[in-house]
Structure 1
C-alpha cells in the first residue's frame, strides 16, 4: 500500500487551493480527482453560465485570473483558468481517482480508491465542496411525474425545450437565470415557496464584490450565525427582474402536487407540463467519509470552520458557508484553505 502525506479529495477550485496552501506549510499533498481533469464541477454547469464576480475578484491565491479585470468570466473561461492553475502547482494531481471510502487507521487514514487501490495518509482534506450532490426535494407526487424531470445540474441549454411547457422550481440565481433563458423558446413558470429577492449587481456604480471586500463582509466569520443558510438574493443587473415583470417567465407559488403529466397549482387549477427543472441547490458529496462517522444523517459534515469535530487530522475546504459567505467561491476558498493547512501542519508536527 502506498503511503502519502496529505490526501486532498477533490481537484476543483477547493482542492487546488488546498494543495497550494499545504505546500506552503511544508506538507506534500496528493490531489485525488474523480474526473479526468482538475476543474471540479465547472465543466458540467449550463452553457450560458457567467460569474457574478468580475475577473479581479475571481482568482485563487497565487495566480490572477487574467484578461480584463472588470469583465465577468464565462463558465469555459473558469475551466481554462482552473486547468492553468493546476499546471502551475508543484503538486501530485491524480485524475480518474475517485475515493469511495475513508477509514481511520491509527492516527491517520486509509482511503479506498475506485478500482481496488488503497492509500494510506497522515491527514485528509475533503475538498469536494458543497455542490457535488443535487438536492431533489420531496415535493408531493413528484416521483409520479411522467414528463421530463431533471435537476438544473443536468440542464445545458434551452434548445431541447423549444415550444414546451416548462416549470422551473426555485428562487435563487440559477433558477432565475435558467427560467429566463428557457422563456425565450418555451412557456415557462418559475415556481417557488417565496417571492424572488433581488440585489443589484452594481450598487452605487461599483460591483457588489467591491463593496463586500471594502467592508470586510466577504471574509467575516459569519457561519456560526448562519447554520441554516437562507436562500440568497438573486444578483441582477436589471434584466432578470425585467424578464419576470414581463411574465417571461411568470412567477407563481410552487405547485401543491404532481400527478402523472400534470401539476396542481395553489389555486386548485391543474395543467399538463412537459418538463420540470429543479433548481433547488446542492448538498456536499461526502459519502466516502461515512466510515469515519464524520457526516450526519443528512450527509452534512460535522465541523466548525472547516475543522472536523470527529478527527483532528481531517479538514474541509470549499463548503458553502464553511466560515464566511465567500467560502465556496473562487475569491474566498483560498482563505479557508490557508486556515485548514495551518491547522493540519500544526497537528502533524505534534509529537
Structure 2
C-alpha cells in the first residue's frame, strides 16, 4: 500500500485550491480525481453558463485570470483556467481515480479506489463537491408525469426543447438563466414558491463583487450565525428582470399537480406539458465517507465546524456551501477555506 502525507479527494476548484494551500503549508498532497481531467464538474455544466462574478474576483489563489479582468468568464474559459492551474501546481494529480471508501486506520486513513487500489494517508480532505448529487425535490405527483424530467445537471442547451411547452422549477441564478434562454425557443414558465429576488449586478459603477470583497462581507465567517442560510438572490444587470416582466419566460406560483402529460397550476387551470427542468441545486456528495464513524450526520451531510471534522482531526472538508461564508463554494472564495484547512492539517500532522 502506498503511503502519502495527504490525500485530496476531488480535482475541481476546491481540490485544486486545497492542493495549492497544502503545498504552501509544506505538505505533499496527492489529488484523486474521478474524471479524466482536473477541472471538476465545470466541463459538464450547461453550454451557456457564464460566471456572475468578474474574472478579477473569480480566480483561485496564486493565479489570476488572463485577459480582460472585468469580463464574466464563460464555462469553457473556466475549464481552460482550471486546467492551466492544475498544470502549474506542484502536486501529484491523478485523474481517473475514483475514491469509493475512506476508513480510519491507525494514525491515518486508508483510501480505497475503484478497481482495488489503496493509499494510506495521514490526512484526507474531502473536496469532491456536490455535482454528483443533484437535488430532486418532492414535487406533487412527479412520479406520474409522462413527459421529460431532467435536472440542470443533465441540461446542455435549449435546442432539444424548441417548440415545446417547458416548466423550469427554481428561483436561483441557474434557474432564471436557463428559463430565459429556453423562452427564446420554447414556451417556458418559471415555477417558484415565492417571487424571484434580484440583486443589482452593478452599484455606483462597480460590480457587486467589488463591494462584497472590499467590505469583507464576501468572506466573513457567517455560517455559525445562521441556522438557515438565506437563498442567494439572482444577480442581474437588468436583462433577467426585464425578461420576467415581459413574461419571456413568465413566472408562476408552484404547480399543484402533475399527471400523465399535464400540469395543474395553483389557480386550477391545466395544460399539456412536454418537459420539466429541475434547477433545484445539489447536495453534498460524500458516499465514500459513509463508513467513517462521525464523519457524516444521520442525513449523510458532513459533520464539521468550519470545515474541520470534530470526530477525526486528520479529516477536513473544503468547498461546502456556506462552509464558513457566502462564497465558500465558489471560485472566488474557496481559497480562504482551503488555506484554513491546510493550516489546521499541517498543525495536526506536526503534533502527531
TM-based fold match above 0.5:
yes
Helix, strand or coil at the partner of 1:282: coil
Please show how residues 85-100 of structure 1 align to structure 2 within 5 Å: 85-100=85-100
1:129-179 CA distance string (max 9 Å, x none): 244310000112111211110001111110000000000000000000000
Partner of 1:260: 260
Helix, strand or coil at the partner of 2:204: helix
Partner of 1:337: 338
Partner of 2:35: 35
How many angstroms does 1:314 deviate by? 0.3
How many angstroms does 1:290 deviate by? 0.5
Partner of 2:325: 324
Helix, strand or coil at the partner of 2:290: helix
How many angstroms does 1:60 deviate by? 0.5
Q: For 2:131 and 2:157, how far apart are their aligned partners in 1?
A: 20
How many angstroms does 1:228 deviate by? 2.4
Partner of 2:206: 206
Partner of 2:348: 347
Please show how residues 160-199 of structure 1 align to structure 2 within 5 Å: 160-199=160-199
Q: Tell me the TM-score normalised to structure 1 length.
A: 0.98
> Greater shift after overlay, 313-322 or 264-273?
264-273
1:214-270 CA distance string (max 9 Å, x none): 111011000112342222100000000000000011101111121121111111122
Q: For 1:184 and 1:10, how far apart are their aligned partners in 2?
A: 36
> RMSD in angstroms over aligned alpha carbons?
0.9
How many angstroms does 1:275 deviate by? 0.2
> Greater shift after overlay, 77-86 or 285-294?
285-294
Partner of 2:64: 64
Structure 1: segments with no counterpart, 5+ residues: none
> Greater shift after overlay, 225-234 or 34-43?
225-234
Please show how residues 123-138 of structure 1 align to structure 2 within 5 Å: 123-138=123-138
The 1:332–1:200 alpha-carbon spacing in structure 2 relative to 1, beyond 3 Å, is same
Contact 2:131 2:153 in 1 (8 A): no
Please show how residues 282-297 of structure 1 align to structure 2 within 5 Å: 282-293=282-293, 294-297=295-298
Q: For 1:312 and 1:165, how far apart are their aligned partners in 2?
A: 52
> Greater shift after overlay, 107-116 or 334-343?
107-116
How many angstroms does 1:297 deviate by? 3.1
1:179-218 CA distance string (max 9 Å, x none): 0000000001100111100001011210000000111101
1:13-42 CA distance string (max 9 Å, x none): 100010011111111100000000000111
Partner of 1:19: 19
Q: Tell me the TM-score normalised to structure 2 length.
A: 0.98
